[in-house]
Structure 1
Amino acid sequence: MEARLIPIALTIAGSDSGGGAGIQADLKAFSALGVYGASVITALTAQNTRAVTMVEPASCAMIAAQMQAVFDDLEIRAVKLGMLGDAQAIATVAAGLRGRDVPVVLDPVMVAKSGDRLLPTDALTALRTELLPLATVLTPNLPEAADLLDTAPACDEDRILEQGQALCELGAQAVLMKGGHGRGPECVDLLIRANGVTRLSAPRRATQNTHGTGCTLSAAIAAGLAQGMDLTQAVTRAHAYLQGAIAHADGLGVGSGHGPVHHFHGIWPNG
């Protein structure tokens, strides 16, 4: 009997020693959703739920070698990009992706939940010019979108839509504007494409355990694309999955700061 091939997704991102974000969150999300995860580590971070205390980038040669090793052997069906570190790393990753027929989910990781900056401001130009044109979908939160556009963060839904459309004009095929940094009882995400807008909403939950939400959402989208879903299906399922992970986050009790979401809420019972 022929073995069933499991879909494979690749995460290219930094490592989080606390396990809540970055490579660790991505691999957990892939696994929870039935996708095999491969990884390219762009940086090591010393961090926990309270702070990032040290960041040590991988060399561009090591990033390129990891990418080549993975693509040479594994049938990668989707790629998620997270923390890349600096302009040279961004250029290296872009060079390794060009010409590959694979959907790319770009999460422009710039600042950790603790407030520590993870992407130097001088790398923004490289992100805009090297990676946005390769993105099947860009997944910025409101401050990240504002950084990419060199403007103030959006404060209402009309402005969120305008900024998402402006990011599409920079080269991304689609933009998912995440409303987690907004205000009010409802959290609204907008998936913006040339042919329309999909609105996704959920109640804003009162919890401090939201470490890794952006990584988890983008990884879940990549998992759906690896499984053959179209973008709307992948984003819709990822949104529902993340809401469940946030709803069950307080049951984990990990750390004393911004704890992680519960990636395996559908598998592990709380407590």
Structure 2
Amino acid sequence: MATKDNEKITLMALVMMIFTTVFGFANSTVAYYLMGYSSILFYLVAAVLFFIPFALMMAEFGAAVKSDSSGMYKWLEVSVNAKFAFVGTFMWFASYIIWLVSTSAKVWIPFTTIFFGSDQTQRFAMFGLNATQMIGLLSCLWMVLVTFVSIKGMKGIVRVTSLGGLAVTSLTAILLVVSGVVLALNHGQFAQPLQHVMTSPNPSYQHPVGLLGFAVFAIFAYGGLEVLGGMVDKTKNPEKTFPRGIIISAIVIT
């Protein structure tokens, strides 16, 4: 069923959707813990060699293929053939099932941290179930809730992603301000000596295998943009709006 013009995604809504999908705020803290300031270089290299080219390819596909069936399958079918498209799309969906299960279990950690100041998920034992079983049950309920919102149509999805994008943007702005305040209170003293900026303070990430592992993490941190492939036909003026949204988001996220 075609989406009505007044229900289609605007440029700002698309940008917020991409922010919610791609930008992981927690990735920054994990990166600093693992690699210190040298994580900046890894993120920049991953952006230049992977994320920005990937975003440009998606923008080109979005502008060229804007039919109702647009998305990863259609892009692969147009580029290669139907068999390759089926295999690629099947692998993508299979990996997303694993990711959804993982995310549904981890989402309760920030929820408990908000209200209790620390991770309390190991104390979730109740109704005769241990903590692990209870987290599994809550994860199933979370997936049911996400599915329920998704099948209600684009309006609900856009509301959630717009709120998520705004939250992520606000978090980043707050982080920048607070970091500046902390740096000023420390009289300009950085947390890690700048002469060691190319060395990780974490002993596990000072050898080639550890560096390679973090490189994979840096690339994975930019994942998720391909999810928006199915939104092309639901975007206003897709041949212009979709590429613009992709490129703007890619630059800002980088």
Return the TM-score normalized by structure 1: 0.21
Query: Which structure has the bigger radius of gyration?
Result: 2
Which structure has more helix as a fraction of its residues?
2
Greater relative contact order (Cα 8 A, min sep 6): structure 1 or 2? 2
